[in-house]
């Protein structure tokens, strides 16, 4: 029988890593604007010039449809996003940040980049590049093949 030692288990370490990083960035947008993670991710994808359908946001964010739908509903209520008919697909709408949403986005971006810089400050430039390369190698795998 194999022995699993949680403290040495890679998925456990990735969860700890995720929680640490997520906590640092969540604190910024949650404290200042009361945003939920899925709302901030949606705003970050829309950026200052985004015109995306809800499905495109799902694809770009790796969030599920329910989270994106909640984000869109909430951000519409705050008047931070606008939507218009999609000329290419009558079943969907194009979503973009409103002027107020762009202001929030532009206020948050430098703060988020500062948090990123602080998180990565323990690494050299070469180590950051290596970390990104190693993370991409795992992200590029077809995890479906791991099902046992």
> Domains of the chain by range and CATH?
24-140 (1.10.10.10)
Nearest to 80 by CA among 24, 27, 30, 35: 35
Other CB atoms closer than 10 Å to residue 130's CB: what's the count? 12
The whole-number pLDDT of residue 31 equals 95
Q: What percent of the chain has pLDDT over 90?
A: 83
Give ∠ CA 77-79-80 in degrees, rounded to 5.
115
The whole-number pLDDT of residue 105 equals 97
The whole-number pLDDT of residue 101 equals 97
**What's the Cα-to-Cα distance from 121 to each of 116, 117, 127, 128, 136, rounded to whole Å?**
8, 6, 10, 9, 20
Residues lower than pLDDT 70 in the chain: none
Q: Which two tokens stand for residue 75?
A: 């951000």
Residues forming a β-bridge with 94: 84
The whole-number pLDDT of residue 87 equals 86
């Amino acid at each position: 029988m194999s022995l699993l030692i949680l403290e040495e288990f890679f998925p456990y370490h990735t969860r700890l890593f995720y929680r640490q990083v997520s906590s640092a960035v969540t604190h910024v947008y949650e404290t200042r604007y009361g945003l939920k993670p899925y709302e901030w991710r949606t705003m970050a994808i829309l950026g200052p010039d985004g015109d995306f359908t809800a499905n495109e946001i799902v694809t770009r964010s790796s969030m599920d449809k329910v989270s994106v739908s909640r984000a869109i509903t909430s951000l519409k209520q705050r008047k931070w996003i606008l939507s218009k008919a999609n000329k290419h697909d009558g079943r969907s709408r194009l979503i973009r940040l409103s002027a107020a949403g762009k202001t929030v986005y532009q206020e948050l971006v430098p703060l988020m980049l500062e948090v990123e810089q602080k998180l990565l400050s323990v690494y050299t430039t070469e180590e950051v590049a290596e970390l990104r390369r190693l993370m991409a190698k795992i992200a590029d795998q077809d995890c479906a093949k791991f099902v046992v």
